[in-house]
Structure 1
Amino acid sequence: MVKAWYMDDSNEDQRLPHQRPGSDVTLDQLRDIGVEYFNINPENYEENKELQKLREERKYTYMDKIECSPEKLPNYEEKIKAFFQEHLHDDEEIRYCLDGSGYFDVRDKNDEWIRIFLEAGDLIVLPAGIYHRFTLDTKNHIVAVRLFVGDPVWTPHNRPQEDMDIRKKYVAKYITAA
């Protein structure tokens, strides 16, 4: 089961948990800001019926695997810094952790950071238009599947992007909606 919490204001290493005491976040709270969670067994994931069903229902036609570690990711330091820049995308961001672990940080309705800890079996869907960022934890290793509708477009739009249509749609649906 995924773990999530509100972050503290520390400027220490981004790879540390940064958990504000007593600030656990529930799946319902994540759903309220559009973040969806699934737990899918990572063994033989390519034949997993639950993953296949999800891909069919949501029309995820593209799937690849990425390994983030100092040894496996070209330009590791540069990429990790880029992943940790607060940004949004025009499309959903879907990540399915097969091995290792890391953090996705998302903004809540009050613009506070929620940290989501992903480990093997966790699959999250971040809605288009949500401000977020990613970092590894202190183990410096994650293997994840990236899913996408159609051809992948990994363009990050760094904050602020309040005038983008996708951000306006996100805000209308999740932030200002009653």
Structure 2
Amino acid sequence: MRAYYFDNQPGDQRLPHDSSRAVDTETLNGLKVEAWNIPLTEGYEEKLNAVARERAYKNRDVITISKEGLGDQYEEKIKGFYEEHIHEDEEIRYILAGGGFFDVRQASTDTWIRIAVSAGDLLVVPAGIYHRFTVDEGNMAQAVRLFKDEPKWKAIYRGAESDANPHRIDYLKSVAAAA
């Protein structure tokens, strides 16, 4: 996993868009974003299960984002994942194969931080943070999605509704308190 400021240059969302300005773990932690690597070696399932128990994740599924799997819906789906939004639950992903980019908004500056993920990376994006996702140029990502309750994925796209959402307000309070 590698984090850096997004370069804001036009071009395919699947490109690295690397500004060459690295973002350290302390900055991510200040945003309540957590990330670590659990190598896909023997025993990784038990390590992932331990994280799930510790964080009270009760359910999981596996999602594969690829041209082969999504067919004609592929381009539409990746554009939808890339639209800026929040969730009312943490978004936790453990990458099994392929790779992509999670972009998160730095609350204090409204700038994008890009987090490049690949196999073995585990990322926790807090409820209420503006973010988006895209696969990388390999056009495939497979991930375990972990959920506290029933599996759901409801995006609340950026606007008046998301800005007034209690999860967004709580998130902003939590990062202000940490500053």
Question: What secondary structure is seen at the aligned counterpart in 1 of 2:70?
Answer: coil
Ranges in structure 2 where 5+ consecutive residues have no aligned partner: none
Q: Does 1:157 align with 2:156?
A: yes
CA distance in 1, matches of 2:122, 2:42: 15
Q: Which residue does 1:36 correspond to in 2?
A: 34
State the one-letter code of the partner of 1:27.
T
CA distance in 2, matches of 1:139, 1:29: 28
Alignment of 1:90-105 (within 5 A): 90-105=88-103
Percent identity between matched residues is 46
Ranges in structure 1 where 5+ consecutive residues have no aligned partner: none
Give 1:49 deviation, angstroms.
Answer: 2.2
Any conservation in 1 of the 2:86–2:128 contact (CA below 8 Å)? yes
- The Cα offsets for residues 50-107 of structure 1, whole Å up to 9 and x where unpaired, read as 2111111111111111111101125211111100000000000001101111000000
CA distance in 2, matches of 1:5, 1:51: 26
Any conservation in 2 of the 1:88–1:129 contact (CA below 8 Å)? yes
Cα distance 1:118–1:80, how it changes in 2: closer, same or farther (>3 A)?
same
Q: Which residue does 1:73 correspond to in 2?
A: 70
Alignment of 1:90-169 (within 5 A): 90-108=88-106, 109-160=108-159, 161-169=162-170
Runs of 4+ in 1 over 4 A off after TM superposition: none
Question: What secondary structure is seen at the aligned counterpart in 1 of 2:68?
Answer: coil
Q: Which residue does 2:50 correspond to in 1?
A: 53
State the one-letter code of the partner of 1:83.
F
Question: What secondary structure is seen at the aligned counterpart in 2 of 1:154?
Answer: coil
State the one-letter code of the partner of 1:60.
Y
Give 1:48 deviation, angstroms.
Answer: 2.4
Question: What secondary structure is seen at the aligned counterpart in 2 of 1:71?
Answer: helix
Q: RMSD in angstroms over aligned alpha carbons? A: 1.4
State the one-letter code of the partner of 2:79.
K
Any conservation in 2 of the 1:96–1:121 contact (CA below 8 Å)? yes
Cα distance 1:167–1:137, how it changes in 2: closer, same or farther (>3 A)?
same
CA distance in 2, matches of 1:131, 1:62: 24
TM-score of the superposed pair, with normalisation by structure 1: 0.93
Question: What secondary structure is seen at the aligned counterpart in 1 of 2:163?
Answer: coil
Question: What secondary structure is seen at the aligned counterpart in 1 of 2:53?
Answer: helix
Aligned residues: 175
